[in-house]
Amino acid sequence: MIVTHVTEPTAPPAYLYGSLIYQAMDTHYEILIIGGGTGGIMTAATILNQNKQAKVGIIEPSESHYYQPAWTLVGAGTFNFDKTIRPMSSVMPKGAQWIKDEATGFDPENNAVTTKSSGKLTYDFLVVSPGLAYDNSLVPGLGEAMDKGVVCSNYTDPKHTWDVLRNFKGGTALFTQPTTPIKCGGAPQKIMYLAESYFRRSGVRAQTNVVFATNGTVIFGVPEIKKTLMEVVDRKDINLRFGYNLVKVDGPNRIAWYKFADHVGEYNHKDVKTEKDGDLTGIHYDMMHTAPPSLAPAFIRNSPLVNEAKWLDVNIHTLQHNRYPNIFGIGDVAALPTAKTGAAIRKQVPVVLNNIDRLKKENKLGSKTYNGYSSCPLVTDYGKMVLAEFDYDNHFTPDPKLKQMLITDSSKESWRLWMLKKYGLPYLYWNKMLKGKEV
């Protein structure tokens, strides 16, 4: 039934699709999806491509859908931020019911999800894909400094990052990250490589020290990619500091404070200003870029669906919940020992849908499994990129389709890979992935 307004205060909520408002009278779904990001939209679109009669609901409160992988390029002044945004209504698959609301809790024993204003929704199968939440309070002082002055993050405001780069006049350019899991673990260093190039263009590189302080032990875990990136580090004269755990930020005095891990080490030392405070070491910065501390959304963390670390507790190969067999997890919120990227979702969705289909028809899991595939497009300069594709064991697993682009070794810097990042991947995202088409 199509309506233009709701007059009764007790009427069921309205769900927006395109330019029309549909009154949703039902609260039970064959497949209920939490999250209108990459995972949720791709899952719904693929289901409906296969069965247009499937009853699919998507719980998502946001009005906009973002293509966040391009924000690295936005922060370096080489991509239009406005082109990374589309109305959520424009990406909702035809036939899916958009429940424009927030999920607030779970009752898995009764196959139900509670919402902020739509009441309780029930399901045959539940796909959980809400993405990550940010919590700057995990690094005291970061919230007060983030996206202001000389502290920036492509994760939250890439336009401010570009402002910071353009206004930088030299000194210590600090690139860092928290100890929590983050989206695309390579992102904090991508902007560093582009920033270093921009500093050369703007004439301030000679009076600049570029520092990468990370809690990790190596620049990248895949040997083939590590080799190339260390060559980039040498070419760009970047100081790497490993085992640096960011614990607090002093915004007014521009100091990032670190506690050392057991594996602390340094490569290509730069004599930047530091100071000690007990067991903490502070690096003085003239600009700083960081990823925000990340964790699962509160309604996930406080639910019966999580493991001890408060991530969605799923089997790492089947993506099926370890205690509730009709619940599956996709994307960043899932407790999977691999990088949290959109490329990983591309491989996870077919596994989840194959399992749901077989469970419906034969009451057993399907034959497809997830091997931990993830991909990190590592931009190393304006016009150059490396494509890290890998599995749970950090084996380098390049896509054979790259040969169609005349790319024989994607572990090496390539202009063709840069073109893929800037033009090819956004096109594939909007026109293939979100349409539920194989990429």
**Residue with more model confidence, 30 or 2:** 30
End-to-end CA distance of the chain: 36
Supply the mean pLDDT for the chain. Answer: 93
Question: What is residue 26's predicted lDDT score, i.e. its pLDDT?
Answer: 67
152 is known as an active-site residue: no
Percent of the chain with pLDDT over 70: 94
Residues 108 and 218 in one domain: no
Structure tokens at 9: 């205060």
376 is known as an active-site residue: yes
pLDDT tens per residue, range 191-224: 999 999 999 999 999 999 999 999 999 999 999 9
How many other β-carbons are positioned within 10 Å of the β-carbon of residue 277? 11
Phi and psi, residue 137, nearest 5°: -65, -15
pLDDT tens per residue, range 241-287: 999 999 999 999 999 999 999 999 999 999 999 999 999 999 999 99
Grouping H, G, I as helix, E, B as strand and the rest as coil, residue 262 is strand
From 250, 265, 294, the end of a domain falls on 294
Total count of residues recorded for the chain? 439
Residues 217 and 262 in one domain: yes
With a cut of 60, say whether residue 105 has pLDDT above it. Answer: yes
Q: What is the mean pLDDT of residues 335-341?
A: 96
Question: What is residue 438's predicted lDDT score, i.e. its pLDDT?
Answer: 85
Angle in degrees, CA 284, 78, 233, rounded to 5: 45
Question: What is residue 319's predicted lDDT score, i.e. its pLDDT?
Answer: 98
From 268, 294, 320, the end of a domain falls on 294
With a cut of 60, say whether residue 23 has pLDDT above it. Answer: no
With a cut of 50, say whether residue 10 has pLDDT above it. Answer: no
Question: What is residue 65's predicted lDDT score, i.e. its pLDDT?
Answer: 98
This prediction has a pTM of: 0.92
Of 88, 195, 376, 433, the catalytic one is 376
How many other β-carbons are positioned within 10 Å of the β-carbon of residue 365? 18
With a cut of 80, say whether residue 353 has pLDDT above it. Answer: yes
Of 33, 58, 113, 184, the catalytic one is 184
pLDDT tens per residue, range 28-43: 999 999 999 999 999 9
CATH of the domain at 38: 3.50.50.60
From 357, 373, 389, the end of a domain falls on 373
* Residue 207 is assigned to a structural domain of this protein: yes
Pick from 84-93, 106-115, 396-405: least confident: 396-405
Reported as type and span, the H/E element at residue 120 is: strand 120-128
Reported as type and span, the H/E element at residue 207 is: none
With a cut of 70, say whether residue 15 has pLDDT above it. Answer: no
Residues 139 and 288 in one domain: yes
Helices of type H across 239-332: 298-301
User: Could you list the residue range(s) of the whole structural domain that residue 102 is in?
Assistant: 14-132+296-373
Residues 264 and 318 in one domain: no
Q: In a 10 Å sphere around its CB, with 0-12 CB exposed, 13-18 middle and 19+ buried, how is residue 279 labelled? A: exposed
Residues 197 and 239 in one domain: yes
Domains contained in the chain, number: 2
User: What is the amino acid identity at position 184?
Assistant: C
How many other β-carbons are positioned within 10 Å of the β-carbon of residue 322? 16
